[in-house]
Structure 1
Amino acid sequence: MSKQEQEKHDGDQVMIKSTEIVQSLLKGLVVIQAFDQQRPTMTLSEVATATGYTRAAARRFLLTLVSEGYAKQEGKQFSLTAKILKLGFSYLASQDVWQSAKPLMQQLVEQLNESCSAAVLDGEDVVYVGRVATTKRIMSVSLNVGTRLPAFATSLGRVLLADLKDEVLNDFLTTCRIEQYTAFTLTNKAELAAEITRVNQQGYSLVEQELELGLTSISVPVRNQAGKVLGALSISTHISQTTRQQVLTTILPTLKACAAAIEQLTY
């Protein structure tokens, strides 16, 4: 981490000094994030390896999490507990717009009979902050609030990336991990940059079978009254059920109308 990092706050430039950063808190968060779908449980040695910390340091962080109820220990195995969800729900509780948007998303789902999601950008991923699903299953994984998907290969992600400043987007494309999920996945970074520029110009992103075969999704931005993008709203369908033309002529206008209605909630 650099000695000083900048963040925008109410239009003013705020300087954050390295001496004001609590390193132990940052390290504790790294330990939490080391647990994922592939590593739901780990030994002390595995946590140390995953985080790059010494066994002694990893042990202190794990025991702290256990003492506060955010993790549990069974023999040599450590895992997170459901209490960790409070951290995510604290964010959601502070974002009234997504709570208020759920009835509008529900109406959209009933109208189209397709699943609707809302997400924000977090690092290289989109994180779901709202989800209303139909009984139709179109992905091999379950999607819920808190689910993370790669931003570069999703329509939600490309809408959010299209809002980034050029230098920030360039940094993202330079450092992000690109994976070939299907034969249709756009992996060339120059072509990906061009696609994100196109998304910015047209105001929506349509992604077909890039993340999973058969999956088509279309997303639009949701902005506040100042024009700042708060997140993205998407509809997902199966390519066998909905043609590209139907997505553009039927789903897209309805999706835009829902996003506009959600935007009104921020006024």
Structure 2
Amino acid sequence: MTQEQNKTIAAARRPRSKKKRDEILARTEDDQVGVQAFERGLDVIRAFASEQRPLTLSEIAEITKQPRASTRRLLGSLLRLKYAATDGQTFRLMPPVMELGYAYLSSSQFWDRVQPYMQEVMSELNESSSVGVLDLPDVVYVARAQARRIVQNMAIGVGSRVPAAVSAMGRLLLAYEPRHVVEAYLRERPLQAFTEKTIVDRDAFYAALDKGREQGWILVDEELEIGLRSLAVPLRDRSGKVIAAMNVGAVSARASADQMISKFLPVLREAANKANHALSFG
């Protein structure tokens, strides 16, 4: 990328001036009804985040301190948008609601702050390192430090999508999602064999998620493509919430599964810890 292109991109990323922000806020005051409805809708979504389980209408109204009638209308909007589902008694968020979080992550500059740490992984291990976010049914690559070595047959770059279930980053991020979100995902996208090593048994898949969440990392061993191993660890925001994953991949001829854990994992964890610190103060 040329210096001039870098300047153009940097200029586009600069935050608006305070005067410009104030002008935008002033214009929103002309539509307070719409703004308040939007805020109440966000309150309903946040209610699920605080409980992480299906909720009744009464529970949501109580958590958000909104009238039941208003809460029912807002839930109706979420149902129409397929951001929520109901069994007639309780309501739960559905995977499409994650589009809201992905929209933020895809437009934010957080991966600019983690790029140096992916470069450290790539330089020390001579293997490519990436950062991905969950946008079900896939994990989306939002940053990458590309080694010169060829890792796999498929071309991977920023913006690439890989099925979450067979990606180390995607599987790790699923491990930190509420179980009902994972269940809804698997109902819509049943486990599929990409290789003879792919986990296709649902109980075994849940066990892999539980183990990954407990140990704080996941290794996917030739489940997406024969000859490819990938290791992932979580990235967290300042509140400690897992928002992304960082990985390193290698072909099986260069690194065994044991070597990925003994040699690659400490390097990846150290880089992720530095990245988490940068994200906390970014």
TM-score of the two chains, using structure 2 as the length reference: 0.64
User: Does 1:137 find its partner at 2:175?
Assistant: no
Residue number in structure 2 paired with 1:67: none
Structure 2 unaligned spans of 5+: 1-40, 51-62, 82-101
Whole-angstrom distance in 2 between the partners of 1:124 and 1:94 = 20
CA contact (8 A) 2:113 2:279 kept: no
User: Which residue of 45, 54, 77 corresponds with 1:7?
Assistant: 45
Mapped to 1, the partners of 2:186 and 2:138 lie a distance apart of 13
Identity %: 29
Q: CA deviation at 1:96?
A: 2.2
What letter matches 2:230 in structure 1?
S
In structure 2, the partner of 1:261 is 274
Amino acid at match of 1:222: L
**Offset, 1:144:** 0.8
Offset of 1:105 from its aligned partner? 0.9
Question: What's 2:171 paired with?
Answer: 158
TM-score (norm 1): 0.68
Task: Give 1:91 deviation, angstroms.
Answer: 5.1
Gaps of 5+ in 1: 24-88
Which of 248, 262, 276 matches 1:249? 262
RMSD value over aligned CA atoms?
2.7
Higher mean alpha-carbon deviation, 229-238 vs 91-100, is at 91-100
Structure 2 partner of 1:96: 109
Count residues in correspondence.
Answer: 200
Where 2:129 maps in the other structure, the secondary structure is strand
| Contact residue 92 and residue 99 of structure 1 kept, 8 A | no
Q: Give the AA of the match of 1:254.
A: V
* In 2, Cα distance between equivalents of 1:210 and 1:255: 21
Q: Distance in 1 between matches of 2:243 and 2:268?
A: 16
Instruction: State which drifts further: 170-179 or 4-13.
Output: 4-13
Q: 176-185 vs 148-157, which deviates more? A: 176-185
CA distance in 2, matches of 1:172, 1:94: 24
Letter in 1 for 2:138: D
Shift of 1:156: 0.6
**3-state DSSP class of the match of 1:186?**
coil
> What code does the residue aligned with 2:265 have?
L
Would you say 1:184 and 2:197 are equivalent positions? yes
Pick one of 211, 224, 229 that aligns with 1:216: 229
Distance 2:77 2:173 in 1: 32
The one-letter code matched in structure 2 to 1:266 is: L
Q: Quote how far apart the aligned CAs of 1:129 are.
A: 0.7
The aligned counterpart of 1:126 is 139
Greater per-residue helix proportion: 2
SS at match of 1:266: helix
Structure with more of its chain in strand, by fraction: 1
Contact 2:106 2:142 (8 Å CA) reproduced: no
SS in 1 for 2:197: coil
User: What residue in structure 1 maps to residue 121 of structure 2?
Assistant: 108
